[in-house]
Amino acid sequence: MQRLAIEPRPDYASKLEDIGLSFHALDNYWNENVCYRFTAAEVDELEAATETLHKMCLQAVQYVIDHNRFADLGIPPAFWQPIAASFARRDFHLYGRFDFAYDGSAPPKLLEYNADTPTSLLEAAVAQWYWLEEKLPQADQFNSLHEKLVARWKQFGPGIDTIHFASLAENEEDWVCATYLMDTAAQAGFEVKHIYVEDIGWSDDRSTFVDLDEQPIAALFKLYPWEFMLREEFGAHVAEASTRFIEPLWKAVLSCKGLLPILWEMYPGHPNLLPAYFQPGKLSSYAKKPLYSREGANIELVENGHTIAHDGGPYGAEGHIYQALCQLKSHDGRYPVVGCWVVHDSAAGMGIREDGQPITTNLSNFVPHYFDKE
């Protein structure tokens, strides 16, 4: 794994805008002045770790259900049985992203799993692929995201013709991600409609969520986290609704950072896991993470009892977990996190975010990657 300087495409900005990546220039978010180079063996290692951890996470959902560990994850009691029922039905799931600390010299270490509302998808699936085709057509990329998303949508149903896609108003990044996923569903043959989360209504008569035209929402892809929804007024209707949700209700177990100590409890010493606990115990160097932190908010890095990095934000009242500190390796003063995607049950690609400080945030840059064909 190497970080290499490379000449950007002269017209890359217009090409990014053509595919819908409208916020590429915000804080220099998209950076193709550099790229990351991997070996085929490193890609194989990341792919294997992704699929292994995905299987472990599915086992973890069942473990939480069987051992009634919902409270440790901050999940309201009213949803414990509906989550168990959702998992027993194996309600349709689409995608997720595992974020790894990795530099090629040791096994990938899981930092967190974005199982419910991962973004940076258009960048990983489309933008960096077009970059590869133009800049390094002789090389390859760990990237089968688009075709696997379309193929997975084709397995959704039966009896569903239209899928609504919801994102928050005034959130450009979420809108870009939602509209890209709309395109993949449309390519799979579905009618698609966008709706803002704030515009979703509820019909008591029909026991379903409805859109602005009072039409029932039979299927809803929601780029809105379960931990928010379950604590809001409409959350009370989730269990009785005829609406089918993507991601499904059982993903509420995996979207919580409480998953990390659960995994360590189930698989102590696993090479792709870092020790993690609900209390710091004997750890003197750790990452203190709120159960529901997003984009690096409220994460504190502690080394030998001293705070070395901290990011502010609105999270933490819900509780914390403590994960053994894993210092990201610096590449030219930048700290990369390797995000590996899973679609359904299959590893599907990766995207790299890097920052000048060791906590990855929503302002961290996206950098394309490639690997040499063998």
Domain boundaries, the chain: 2-256+329-371, 275-324
Contact 151, 158 (CB under 8 A): no
* Cα 258 → chain centroid: 15
- Helical packing angle, 40-66 and 80-88, nearest 10°: 130
Question: CA 359 to CA 327: how far, in whole Å?
Answer: 10
Peptide bond into 247 cis (omega under 30): yes
**Strand 365-367 with 2-5, pairing:** unpaired
Q: Which one, of 155, 143, 197, 157, lies nearest residue 175 by Cα?
A: 197
Question: CA 16 to CA 131: how far, in whole Å?
Answer: 10
Question: CA 337 to CA 365: how far, in whole Å?
Answer: 10
Within 10 Å of residue 310's Cβ, how many Cβ atoms? 12
Which amino acid, residue 154?
K
Q: Report the sign of the C-alpha dihedral through residues 188, 194, 199, 205, in that order.
A: negative
| H-state helical runs in the chain | 12-18, 40-66, 80-88, 121-122, 128-135, 145-153, 172-187, 226-229, 251-254, 259-266
Q: DSSP secondary structure string, 104-146?
A: SSS--EEEEEE-SS---HHIIIIIHHHHHHHH-TTSB-SB-HH
**Strand 244-246 with 219-222, pairing:** parallel
| H or E element, residue 323 | strand 320-324
pLDDT digits (tens, 9 = 90+) for 191-245: 999 999 999 999 999 989 999 999 999 999 999 999 999 988 888 899 999 999 9
- Residue 213, classified by CB atoms within 10 Å of its CB into exposed (0-12), middle (13-18) or buried (19+), is exposed
Query: What's the alpha-carbon Rg for the chain, to the nearest Å?
Result: 20
Q: What is the pLDDT along the chain (374 residues), one digit of tens a residue?
A: 999 999 999 999 999 999 999 999 999 999 999 999 999 999 999 999 999 999 999 999 999 999 999 999 999 999 999 999 999 999 999 999 999 999 999 999 999 999 999 999 999 999 999 999 999 999 999 999 999 999 999 999 788 999 999 999 989 999 999 999 999 999 999 999 999 999 999 999 998 999 999 999 999 999 999 999 998 888 889 999 999 999 999 999 999 999 999 999 999 999 999 999 999 988 999 999 999 877 767 889 999 988 988 877 777 678 899 999 998 999 999 999 999 999 999 999 999 999 988 888 777 999 999 999 87
Contact 362, 295 (CB under 8 A): yes
**Strand 369-371 with 34-38, pairing:** parallel
Which residue, chain included where needed, has tokens 């919801």?
166
Q: Which one, of 52, 118, 121, 57, lies nearest residue 250 by Cα?
A: 57
